[in-house]
Structure 1
Amino acid sequence: MNKRRIFTNRWIIVIVLTLFLMFYQLPFYISTPGMAKELAPIVNVEGGFREEGSFSLTTIRMGKATIIQYGLAKLNDYHVIYPEEQIRPEGETDDEYNHRQLHMMDSSKEQATVVAYTKANKDISIEYNGVYVLGIVEGMPAEQHLKVGDRLFAVDNLEMKSSEEFIKYISQMQANDIVTIRLERNGKPMEVDIPLGVFQNNVDDSEDDRVGLGIQLVTDRKVKVNPKVEIKTDEIGGPSAGLMFSLEIYNQLVEEDITKGYKIAGTGTISYEGVVGRIGGIKQKVVAADGSDVEIFFAPNEEGKTRTDKNGAPILTNYQEALEAAEDINSKMKIVPVDTFEEALAYLEQLEPKK
C-alpha cells in the first residue's frame, strides 16, 4: 500500500514539474522563423492586373519563453532570445503592445500605398491632420509635459504637417535648448515650453548622443487613391512588410508584370519617399522564405554601412545578415540588396522572364 502511494506521489510530482516547465513564463521573448505569405490574396487594387509570379511578405513568430522553449532556443541558431525589456517597455500591457504593432502595420500600408501610386502616376491626394504623440520615453523631458494622444501642430511658431518635419527641426538643436510646443489635448489648445534632453545611445559609440524631447510621433494623414486599394492584414503587426506591400500594389496598378513569373519575397520598412529601412529578425525571415521555395529575396542594404556596438564589434547590415543565413542553410535564393523602392523596381525590370 505504501509502495503504491509512493509511486502515485512520484507521478504527481512528475506531472506537476512537466506542466511547470511547459507553461511557466520567463522574463524573455523568443522569436522563431515564421512564414512567407503571398500578398496577392491580401492586397486588392480595384480592377488591378494579375501576376504570373508572386510577391510575399515574411514573418517571424514571437512569444514569451517557457523554460523548455528557452532551453531549446539555446540549441537553435534561428531561435533568438530577447530580454523582455527589449521587446516591450516596462509597464506596457499585452493589449498596448499588440495595438502598437498593429498601428505600425497600418502606417506601413499607408506608406507603401503612397510610394506605389506615386510611382505608377495614379490619382492620389494626401490630407494632413496633425502630428500625434504615440509614445513617451521614460526619463526624457516630454514625460513631464506631454501625454500620449496630444496633437502637436507647431514648434516655436513653425507649423508642422508631419512628424518628419518635427524631427528634422529638433535634430538641429542642442541639449537644454527650450522649444515652445503648441498642442491640443482633449480638444483644448495649450502651449508648453520643454527643454531638450539627451538620448543614451546604446548602439553605436561612434556617434554623438542624440538630443530630443523623448516622444514617438505619428502623422495623421488621410490618403485618398483612385483606383481604391484594400490591404487585409488581420493580426499581422509591425512595419517590416512595407517594401513588399509597395511592390505588390505597384504591380497591380501597372500592366507589365514585374514578377516575371518568379516567387519573390523580402523585408524592409518603407518611407513615404521610398527609402527601405532596417528590420529585426532578418535571418529568421530568410529561413522562412527558403522554406516556401522563394527564388528572390530583397534585403535592406542600409547603404552598405556597417556600424559598431558599444564594445566596438561590427553590426552587420540586414543584407550581410541575410547572406550569412542563406549560405548557412545552403539556400538557392538570390539575396538582393536594396536601399530604395526604385532600386528594387530596377532590379525586377532587368530580369529575364522565367521560362
Structure 2
Amino acid sequence: MTDADTPPLPPRSRPRWLTFLWTAVVLALLTPLGWLVNLPYFSASAGPTGDAVDAVIVREGFEVFQPEGELLLLTVSLQPVNLYEATVAFFDRRIDLIDRELLRPQGETDEEARQRGLMAMERSKDIAVAVALHELGLEESLAAGVEVVGVFQEAPASDSLASGDLVVEMESQPIRTVGDIRRILETRSPGEEVEVIVLRGSERIPVSLALHSNPDAPDRAMVGISASTSYPIDI
C-alpha cells in the first residue's frame, strides 16, 4: 500500500472534560455580571399591609365610631432590577416589570424624585381630607387657600415661592383648593407665565411664575411645587 492509498487520520477530538472546563470558566465569569448589570426596569410587587385604623390618632374627648370590618394600608414595593431579578419577575405573576422612564424620567435627579414623591403624598392626604369635608358639606366653606409645602430646587418657582406661602389667587381667579390650581394649569402650556398672589405672613405678594413641563406628561404644565389645601382648623 502506498502513501496515496493511506486513509487520512480522523481529526483529533477535544477531550470532553476540557469542554466542560471551559464552559464552567465562562459561566463563572458571566455569573457576577448578571448581578452587577442593572436593567432599565423596576419591579413592582405588593408590600406588607398594616391596620390603618391603629395609625389614626384621635384626641381625647371626641366620640369615636369603630369601623365595621378592616381598613388596611397596602404598600407597594418598587425596586430596580438586575438580570437575574428581572428573569424571576418575568415568570412570577405577582411581580410586574415597569419601564424605568415611566417612574423616573431620564435626567431626573434623586432630589427631584424625592420632591415628586412628597408632592404625591401631600396630594393624597389633601384628597382624603377634601373627601371627608365634602361628605360633611364643609369643603368649600373651610378651604382658605393652597399652602406651599415645598419647592423643586430647579423649578423657576424656587426664586419666588417658599414653604409656608399661601396661594390665594392665580390669573385673577380666587384659589381655595389644590383643585383650583389644577384646573387653571390644564388650560396653560409649558413656557407660559401665570400671575399669582401669595400671602406671606400678613403681606400680599404678587408673583409671576414661569411654567415648566410635568416629568410624567411633558405636554402638561406645572409650577414645580408640592402643595396642600389649607384649612383654618387642625385636621
Amino acid at match of 2:78: M
Residue 59 of structure 1: which of 75, 83, 87 is its match?
A: 75
Give the match for residue 128 of structure 1.
Answer: 145
Residue 35 of structure 2: which of 22, 43, 65 is its match?
A: 22
Give the match for residue 45 of structure 1.
Answer: 58
Cα offset for 1:66? 1.1
Amino acid at match of 2:92: N
Give the match for residue 181 of structure 1.
Answer: 195
- In structure 2, relative to structure 1, the CA distance for the partners of 1:49 and 1:224 (3 Å cut) is farther
Give the match for residue 230 of structure 2.
Answer: 222
Q: Distance in 2 between matches of 1:154 and 1:169?
A: 11
Cα offset for 1:40? 1.6
The size of the alignment, in residue pairs, is 201
Cα offset for 1:158? 3.5
Check the 8 A contact 1:132/1:217 in 2, yes or no.
yes
Check the 8 A contact 2:146/2:229 in 1, yes or no.
yes
| Farther-moved stretch of structure 1 (66-75 vs 16-25) | 16-25
Cα offset for 1:41? 1.7
- In structure 2, relative to structure 1, the CA distance for the partners of 1:108 and 1:20 (3 Å cut) is same
| Farther-moved stretch of structure 1 (125-134 vs 55-64) | 125-134
- In structure 2, relative to structure 1, the CA distance for the partners of 1:115 and 1:24 (3 Å cut) is same
Matches within 5 A, 1:182-331: 182=196, 191-192=207-208, 213-216=221-224, 218-223=226-231
**Structure with max Cα Rg:** 2
Query: What are the superposed Cα offsets for residues 77-122 of structure 1, whole Å, 9 maximum, x if unpaired?
Result: 3322222211012333345424432442233223313422553579
Q: Distance in 1 between matches of 2:194 and 2:126?
A: 30
Q: Distance in 2 between matches of 1:121 and 1:36?
A: 32
The reply to whether residue 88 of structure 1 matches residue 112 of structure 2 is no
Give the match for residue 160 of structure 1.
Answer: 175
Cα offset for 1:58? 2.3
Q: Distance in 1 between matches of 2:42 and 2:229?
A: 33
Q: Distance in 1 between matches of 2:107 and 2:213?
A: 22
- In structure 2, relative to structure 1, the CA distance for the partners of 1:192 and 1:149 (3 Å cut) is closer
Unpaired runs of 5+ in structure 2? 1-20
Check the 8 A contact 1:130/1:162 in 2, yes or no.
no
Q: Distance in 1 between matches of 2:191 and 2:37?
A: 48
Amino acid at match of 2:129: T
Check the 8 A contact 1:153/1:159 in 2, yes or no.
yes
2:184 match: secondary structure: helix
Query: What are the superposed Cα offsets for residues 293-322 of structure 1, whole Å, 9 maximum, x if unpaired?
Result: xxxxxxxxxxxxxxxxxxxxxxxxxxxxxx
Query: What are the superposed Cα offsets for residues 257-283 of structure 1, whole Å, 9 maximum, x if unpaired?
Result: xxxxxxxxxxxxxxxxxxxxxxxxxxx
- In structure 2, relative to structure 1, the CA distance for the partners of 1:51 and 1:156 (3 Å cut) is closer
Give the match for residue 326 of structure 1.
Answer: none
Question: Relative contact order (C-alpha < 8 Å, sep 6+): which is higher?
Answer: 1
Q: Distance in 2 between matches of 1:80 and 1:59?
A: 15
Give the match for residue 18 of structure 2.
Answer: none
The reply to whether residue 34 of structure 1 matches residue 47 of structure 2 is yes
Give the match for residue 320 of structure 1.
Answer: none
Residue 111 of structure 1: which of 127, 132, 146 is its match?
A: 127
Q: Distance in 1 between matches of 2:146 and 2:224?
A: 17
The percentage of counterpart residues that share the same residue type is: 17
- In structure 2, relative to structure 1, the CA distance for the partners of 1:164 and 1:85 (3 Å cut) is same
Query: What are the superposed Cα offsets for residues 315-339 of structure 1, whole Å, 9 maximum, x if unpaired?
Result: xxxxxxxxxxxxxxxxxxxxxxxxx
Query: What are the superposed Cα offsets for residues 126-153 of structure 1, whole Å, 9 maximum, x if unpaired?
Result: 44255678569x9xxxx7x544873665
1:45 match: secondary structure: coil
Check the 8 A contact 1:131/1:162 in 2, yes or no.
no
Q: RMSD in angstroms over aligned alpha carbons?
A: 4.7
Check the 8 A contact 1:36/1:56 in 2, yes or no.
yes
- In structure 2, relative to structure 1, the CA distance for the partners of 1:197 and 1:149 (3 Å cut) is closer
Check the 8 A contact 2:169/2:197 in 1, yes or no.
yes
